[in-house]
Amino acid sequence: MGYPVVDVRVEILEVGIGTEYTPLGTREAVRRAMETALQRGEPKLLEPYVEVDVYVPAEFVGNVINDLGVRGGELLAIENVTDVVQNVKFKAPLRKMFGYANVLRSITEGRGSFQMRLSHFAPVEEKDLALLYV
């Protein structure tokens, strides 16, 4: 896949080297063995998720929640900040948050703001894997 492999422990138990070997040949044999082992281990591609705090006047909360659904987000909470401003908290894949500032500006008539921070890494959903290889 070409992505980094993390949190993997490799233990080489035995190496059989014939009489005619080269360092380059040994390197290639190890690379192929690792590739085979990784495929058998059913690796998962992980993607970053962000936790987002959106601050909007109450009248725009519905717009934010609708857009959240389009982005594959998970609603965590809606909290009152003041009498007129609410905080909509959600988690979403980072790749679906690009351009969010413009979208938020549009759906709140320029009256919304947001903060985003890394939450965790999670496996990419099967239906989205094909999109990443385009």
> For 1-134, where are the alpha helices, taking DSSP H only?
23-40, 61-70, 100-107, 126-132
- What's the pTM value of the predicted model, to 2 decimals? 0.74
Q: Where are the chain's structural domains?
A: 46-132
| pLDDT given for residue 1 in this prediction | 55
- pLDDT of residue 134 exceeding 60, the answer is no
| pLDDT given for residue 51 in this prediction | 98
| pLDDT given for residue 112 in this prediction | 96
What's the mean pLDDT in 5-34? 79
The CA-CA-CA angle for residues 76, 80, 81, to 5°, reads 110
100 by Cβ neighbours in 10 Å (0-12 / 13-18 / 19+) ranks as middle
| Average pLDDT over all residues of the chain | 88
CATH number of 46-132: 3.30.70.240
**Residue type for 11, please?**
E
What pLDDT, in 10s, does the model give residues 41-88? 888 889 999 999 999 999 999 999 999 988 889 999 999 999 999 999
With the C-alpha atoms ordered 34, 134, 130, 132, is the resulting torsion angle positive or negative? positive
| pLDDT given for residue 22 in this prediction | 80
